[in-house]
Amino acid sequence: MIGKDSLVIGQYFPGNGLLYSLDPRNKILSFLFLMIIIFFYKSLFSFIPIFLLVLSFIIISKIPIKSILKGLKPILMLLIITLFFHFFFTPGETIFKIFFLKLTKEGLNKGIFIGSRLIILIMISSLLTFTTSPLELTKGLEFLSLPLEKLKFPSTEIIMMITIALRFIPVLVEEADRIIVAQVSRGASFDEGNLIKRAKSLIPILVPLFVSSFRRAEELAIAMEVRCFQPGKKRTYMKRLTWKNIDTIFLIFIIIFGSLFLFIK
Amino acid sequence: MEIRGNQERNIAVEVKDLKYTYSKGLPYEKEALVSVNMLVYEGEAIGILGHTGSGKSTLIQHLNGILMPESGEVKVFSEKINNDKKFLKNLRRIVGIVFQFPEDELFAETVYEDVSFGPKNLGLTKEEIDERVLTSLIEVGLNEGYLNRSPFSLSGGEKRRVAIASTLSMKPKILVLDEPTSGLDPLGREEILKLIKRLKNDKNVTIILVSHSMEDVLFLVDRVYILNKGKVVFGGDTVSIFKDKDSIEKFDLSIPEIFMLGEELKKEGFDIEEPFRDVEVAKKEIIRNLK
Ligand SMILES: Nc1ncnc2c1ncn2[C@@H]1O[C@H](COP(=O)(O)OP(=O)(O)OP(=O)(O)O)[C@@H](O)[C@H]1O
Ligand SMILES: [Mg+2]
Q: What value of ipTM does the predicted structure carry?
A: 0.84
Q: Which of A13, A64, A203 sits opposite B107 (nearest CB)?
A: A203
What 3-state DSSP class applies to A158? helix
What number of helices (H) and strands (E) belong to chain B? 11, 10
- The ligand 1 atom nearest the CA atom of B28: 4
Rounded mean pLDDT, A210-220: 92
What is the length of chain A? Answer: 265
Ligand 2 midpoint to CA B256 (Å)? 22
Q: Could you report how far apart the first and last alpha carbons of chain A are, in Å?
A: 51
Do B121 and A188 count as a contact with CB atoms less than 8 A apart? Answer: yes
Q: A157: buried, middle or exposed (CB in 10 Å: 19+, 13-18, 0-12)?
A: exposed
Is B23 near ligand 1, meaning CB less than 6 Å away?
Answer: yes
- The ligand 1 atom nearest the CA atom of B56: 21
Domain boundaries, chain B: 11-103+172-255
Is B57 near ligand 1, meaning CB less than 6 Å away?
Answer: yes
The answer to whether B155 and B112 have CB atoms below 8 angstroms apart is: no
Q: Whose CA is nearest to atom 28 of ligand 1?
A: B53
Question: How far is it, in rounded angstroms, from Cα A64 to Cα B65?
Answer: 31
B33, B34, B58, B212, best to mutate for ligand 1 pocket (most atoms within 8 Å of CB): B58
Nearest CA in chain B to A212: B104
Rounded mean pLDDT, A52-61: 92
Q: What is the pLDDT of residues B44-61, one digit of tens each?
A: 999 999 989 999 999 999
What percent of chain A stands above pLDDT 90? 30
Q: What is the pLDDT of residue B25?
A: 77
Ligand 1 midpoint to CA B178 (Å)? 13
Q: Which residue has the higher pLDDT, A16 or B48?
A: B48
Q: Which of B26, B104, B170 sits opposite A186 (nearest CB)?
A: B170
Mean pLDDT by 10 residues, chain B (291 residues): 57 96 83 95 94 93 94 95 91 94 92 94 92 93 92 90 94 95 87 92 94 91 93 90 85 86 88 86 89 80
Q: What is the pLDDT of residue A93?
A: 79
Question: How far is it, in rounded angstroms, from Cα B106 to Cα A209?
Answer: 10
Q: What is the pLDDT of residue B3?
A: 43
The answer to whether A237 and A163 have CB atoms below 8 angstroms apart is: no
Q: What is the pLDDT of residue A10?
A: 53
Do A186 and B118 count as a contact with CB atoms less than 8 A apart? Answer: yes
How far does the CA of residue B107 sit from the closest CA of chain A (Å)? 5
Do A188 and B97 count as a contact with CB atoms less than 8 A apart? Answer: no
- The pLDDT-based confidence of A69 (bands split at 50, 70, 90) is confident
Q: What is the pLDDT of residue B26?
A: 73
Question: How far is it, in rounded angstroms, from Cα B96 to Cα B121?
Answer: 14
Q: Which of A13, A64, A208 sits opposite B107 (nearest CB)?
A: A208
- The pLDDT-based confidence of A23 (bands split at 50, 70, 90) is very high
Ligand 1 midpoint to CA B52 (Å)? 8
Nearest CA in chain B to A1: B66
Tell whether pTM > 0.90.
no
CATH number of the B11-103+172-255 domain: 3.40.50.300
Q: What is the pLDDT of residue A143?
A: 84
Q: In chain B, which ranges are continuous DSSP H helix?
A: 56-60, 85-94, 111-122, 126-139, 156-168, 186-203, 214-220, 238-243, 245-250, 257-267, 279-290
Dihedral angle sign, alpha carbons of residues B175, B180, B185, B190: positive
